[in-house]
Amino acid sequence: MIHPPASDWQLAELNIARLKAPMESPIVADFVNALDRVNAVAERLDGFVWRHVDDTGNAMDTRIEEDPLVIYNASTWRDAEALETFVWGTIHKQFYHRRAEWFNALDSMHFALWWVPSGHRRTPTKAADKLARLDAEGPTENAFCWPELPGATRWKQEQCTPLAAA
C-alpha cells in the first residue's frame, strides 16, 4: 500500500485512451457527447480539486503522443474515496463499462495515480512521465494503480480490467 506522504496531500490521476475513430466520428459520438456532462458531475463532487483543461476549456485537444487518437485526462482529488465515488458511484461508471465501444487497447500503461502536495498542478508532459515510469518500474511511490491505493476497493467490485487487444 502506498500512503500519502502527509495528511494535506491529494491524489492525482492520469489516464489516456486511444479512440477507435476521430472525435467527429459517429463511432465515438456517445462518448464525446457525454464529456461535458461527466466532467460537470466530477466538478460538483465533494473531494474534486482540479482537472486539466487547455486554453479553450477542453482537455481532449491536449496531446502527449503523436497519435491524434490518443486522448488525455488528468485530475486531482482530495483522497481515494472521492475519486472512487466519482469513478464508480456516478454516471462515469456507465461510460467506463462501455469503454470497449470507443477505445482500442494500448501497448503501455494508460492509468496512473500518485500523491501530490495540496495545490500542485502538473503539466501534461510531467503527468505522462508517470505512465512511463509505471511501465518501466511497476508500482512505486512515484506512480501506482488501484491495488496499491489504501482503502480503494470498488475497482475490484467493478472488475477494473485492461481493455483486450483488438
Which pLDDT tens digits describe the chain residue by residue (166 residues)?
788 888 899 999 999 999 999 999 999 999 999 999 999 999 999 999 999 998 877 777 788 888 899 999 999 999 999 999 999 999 999 998 899 999 998 888 899 999 999 999 988 888 889 999 999 999 999 999 999 988 888 887 776 555 544 4
Its pTM stands at 0.90
User: Three-state SS for 121?
Assistant: coil
What CATH number belongs to 9-157? 3.30.70.100
Three cell numbers at 73? 485526462
User: In the prediction, which pLDDT does 166 show?
Assistant: 43
- Tell me the C-alpha distance between 142 and 131, whole Å: 10
- Tell me the C-alpha distance between 17 and 1, whole Å: 26
User: In the prediction, which pLDDT does 156 show?
Assistant: 76
Burial label for 75, CB within 10 Å (0-12, 13-18, 19+), is: buried
Q: What is the pLDDT of residues 100-140, one digit of tens each?
A: 999 998 888 899 999 999 999 988 888 889 999 999 999 99
Q: Let me know: does 160 contact 146? Beta carbons within 8 Å.
A: yes
The CA–CA distances, whole Å, from 101 to 15, 104, 133 equal 17, 8, 28
User: In the prediction, which pLDDT does 21 show?
Assistant: 97
User: In the prediction, which pLDDT does 162 show?
Assistant: 55
